[in-house]
């Protein structure tokens, strides 16, 4: 199996067919060995992080764009250029294996063309890189609509920092299940397994450990026993901010794949009931799988959070986690395809959906109850402006400060790589009793 050819197929599925990398890549990795899995992931992530630069280099070196049945070869060339520019793979191996990828893709007749393009790139590399660096979109590798939104929200200097962080590899964060071990104890267990993990300095993230180098989850001690899960530290804040209490009836809306549901149950095993709702039936299977692995119980419901009347049984919730569908612009470093699959027009549609979900969930929240609004977005329209609008039109809602992290008008906005975490937004609302 030629890994470069497989990577070209995956990239074609993502860029040309609009499939998400998180769907296409695991399917492609299914039948290949661990070493090749890692290489395949590195090539796909790397090309998607630097896509406009690689496209620019490719178009500068070939006369006619590769289209139709040859489109996969375009991505094969990008993979070759990426290796030559950004990896330590020896140039002869990078070129040779990439050229052989054409044979694996049944395009043997074009091996010579691919070889010529890659060797030409090696000759002209410095000149082409210099040209690319003069263009903002090629320097920062973000679509122009997103650059504009980031600059409007954060200014030019801060937006450049954000884009730089989006192009870095994210660390692997673990959530230690306190039912089994304290975070310190599990850190010791990892050390005995020759795995170095770092404690977070943030007391709110008392279950979080950071691995700078990602590993296969099955190598984590006790993973199959539910000792630990993989979840970014920013996402782990949700259960802490929700602050589940004994005998609470809690709803996790838009719950799949269930990380926040599970964390809430780990923090407070003595709930009256935990309800997990999601509109994606396929992803709900993941929620149940994760519950089974950790030996936890929740009521899992297939339903639309914006239409709670269709599935709500009538008893109001003490606490609701509204993990709203969003642009995911805070997790681009984990999902580099987001920037190319998302469109500017999507933001307005998402804002409308978030508003509908908030209004729907507010009706089923008990008087005096707490609703925690969360997104993995860094765009104000989906976050602070969304909550400001909700408060303006909802007289019985008040904002609850999130301790030291209430860093903006209505809530807490984390930016990518702040304390090594993903970009996230939280706002804690209480239903006021008159």
Co-location of 358 and 300 in the same domain: yes
**What's the mean pLDDT when you consider all of the chain?**
94
If one counts every other C-beta atom within 10 angstroms of the C-beta of residue 120, the result is: 15
Co-location of 216 and 264 in the same domain: no
Quick one: pLDDT band at residue 137, thresholds 50, 70, 90?
Answer: confident
Is residue 129's pLDDT more than 90? Answer: yes
What pLDDT does 431 receive? 97
CA contacts within 13 A on the Cβ side of 47: 26
Nearest to 238 by CA among 42, 73, 426, 434: 426
Residues 6-19 have a mean pLDDT of 97
Q: What is the pLDDT of residues 165-184, one digit of tens each?
A: 999 999 999 999 999 999 99
Residues 189-214 have a mean pLDDT of 87
Residue 7 to residues 46, 83, 258, 277: CA-CA distances in angstroms? 11, 12, 29, 35
What pLDDT does 148 receive? 96
Is residue 270's pLDDT more than 90? Answer: yes
Q: Does residue 340 fall inside a structural domain?
A: yes
Is residue 204's pLDDT more than 70? Answer: no
Co-location of 268 and 407 in the same domain: yes
Co-location of 239 and 106 in the same domain: no
What pLDDT does 206 receive? 83
223 sits in the region (left: phi over 0; alpha: psi -120 to 50; else beta) called alpha
d(CA 18, CA 41): 18
Domain C-terminal end among 140, 155, 186:
140
**Which of 104-108, 190-194, 250-254, 410-414 shows the lowest mean pLDDT across its residues?**
410-414
Quick one: pLDDT band at residue 375, thresholds 50, 70, 90?
Answer: very high
Quick one: pLDDT band at residue 433, thresholds 50, 70, 90?
Answer: confident
Is residue 409's pLDDT more than 90? Answer: no
Q: What is the pLDDT of residues 142-152, one digit of tens each?
A: 999 999 999 99
Is residue 406's pLDDT more than 70? Answer: no
Residue 193 sits in a domain whose CATH number is: 3.30.70.1170
d(CA 289, CA 148): 40
Co-location of 411 and 263 in the same domain: yes
Quick one: pLDDT band at residue 395, thresholds 50, 70, 90?
Answer: very high
If one counts every other C-beta atom within 10 angstroms of the C-beta of residue 196, the result is: 12
Co-location of 352 and 402 in the same domain: yes
Is residue 202's pLDDT more than 80? Answer: no
Co-location of 133 and 73 in the same domain: yes
Domain C-terminal end among 140, 163, 196:
140
What pLDDT does 201 receive? 66
The whole domain housing 374 covers 233-431
Q: What is the pLDDT of residues 303-336, one digit of tens each?
A: 999 999 999 999 999 999 999 999 999 999 999 9
Is residue 403's pLDDT more than 70? Answer: no
Number of domains in the chain: 3
Residues with catalytic roles: 376
Q: What is the pLDDT of residues 335-350, one digit of tens each?
A: 999 999 999 999 999 9
Quick one: pLDDT band at residue 63, thresholds 50, 70, 90?
Answer: confident
Co-location of 213 and 243 in the same domain: no
Exposure string (b/e) for 222-259, b if CB count within 10 Å is 16 or more?
Answer: ebeebbbbebbbbbbbbbbbbebeeebbbbbbbbbbbb
Co-location of 196 and 108 in the same domain: no
Which two three-digit tokens encode residue 206? 């008392």
What pLDDT does 408 receive? 56
Residue 315 sits in a domain whose CATH number is: 3.40.50.150
What pLDDT does 214 receive? 87
pTM of the entire predicted model = 0.94
Q: Does residue 213 fall inside a structural domain?
A: yes
Is residue 2's pLDDT more than 80? Answer: yes
Co-location of 396 and 294 in the same domain: yes
Quick one: pLDDT band at residue 136, thresholds 50, 70, 90?
Answer: confident
Exposure string (b/e) for 405-417, b if CB count within 10 Å is 16 or more?
Answer: bbeeebbbbbbbb
What pLDDT does 404 receive? 60
Residue 348: φ, ψ to 5° = -60, -40
Co-location of 239 and 372 in the same domain: yes
Domain C-terminal end among 140, 162, 185:
140
For the residues of 90-109, what is the DSSP string, one character each?
-HHHHHHHHHHHHHHTT-GG
């Amino acid at each position: 199996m030629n890994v470069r050819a497989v990577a070209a197929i995956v990239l074609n599925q993502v860029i040309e067919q609009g499939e998400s990398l998180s769907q296409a890549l695991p399917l492609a990795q299914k039948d290949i060995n661990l070493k090749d899995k890692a290489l395949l992931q590195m090539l796909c992530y790397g090309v998607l992080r630097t896509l406009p630069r690689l496209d620019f280099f490719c178009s500068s070196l070939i006369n006619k764009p590769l289209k139709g049945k040859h489109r996969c070869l375009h991505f094969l060339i990008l993979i070759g250029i990426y290796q030559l520019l950004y990896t330590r793979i020896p140039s002869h191996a990078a070129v040779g294996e990439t050229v052989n990828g054409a044979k694996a893709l049944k395009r043997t007749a074009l091996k010579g063309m691919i070889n010529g393009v890659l060797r030409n790139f090696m000759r002209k590399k410095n000149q082409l890189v210099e040209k690319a660096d003069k263009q903002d979109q090629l320097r920062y590798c973000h679509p122009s609509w997103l650059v504009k939104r980031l600059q409007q929200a954060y200014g030019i200097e801060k937006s450049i920092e954000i884009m730089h962080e989006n192009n870095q590899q994210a660390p692997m964060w673990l959530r230690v299940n306190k039912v089994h071990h304290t975070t310190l104890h599990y850190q010791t267990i990892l050390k005995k397994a020759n795995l170095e993990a770092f404690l977070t300095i943030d007391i709110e993230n008392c279950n979080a450990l950071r691995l700078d180098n990602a590993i296969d989850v099955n190598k984590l001690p006790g993973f199959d026993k539910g000792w630990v899960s993989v979840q970014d530290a920013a996402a782990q804040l949700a259960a802490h901010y929700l602050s589940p209490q004994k005998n609470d009836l809690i709803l996790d809306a838009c719950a799949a794949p269930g990380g926040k549901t599970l964390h809430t149950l780990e923090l407070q095993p003595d709930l009256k009931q935990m309800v997990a709702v999601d509109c994606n039936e396929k992803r709900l299977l993941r929620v149940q799988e994760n519950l089974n692995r950790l030996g936890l119980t929740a009521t899992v419901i297939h339903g639309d959070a914006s239409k709670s009347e269709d599935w709500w049984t009538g008893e109001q919730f003490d606490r609701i986690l509204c993990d709203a569908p969003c642009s995911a612009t805070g997790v681009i470093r984990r999902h580099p395809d987001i920037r190319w699959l998302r469109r500017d027009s999507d933001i307005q549609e998402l804002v409308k959906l978030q508003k509908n979900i908030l209004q729907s969930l507010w009706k089923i929240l008990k008087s005096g109850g707490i609703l925690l609004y969360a997104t993995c977005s860094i765009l104000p329209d989906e976050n602070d402006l969304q909550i400001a609008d909700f408060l303006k039109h909802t007289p019985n809602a008040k904002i609850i400060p999130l301790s030291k992290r209430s860093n903006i008008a209505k809530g807490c906005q984390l930016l990518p790589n702040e304390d090594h975490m993903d970009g996230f937004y939280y706002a804690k609302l209480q239903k006021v009793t008159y």
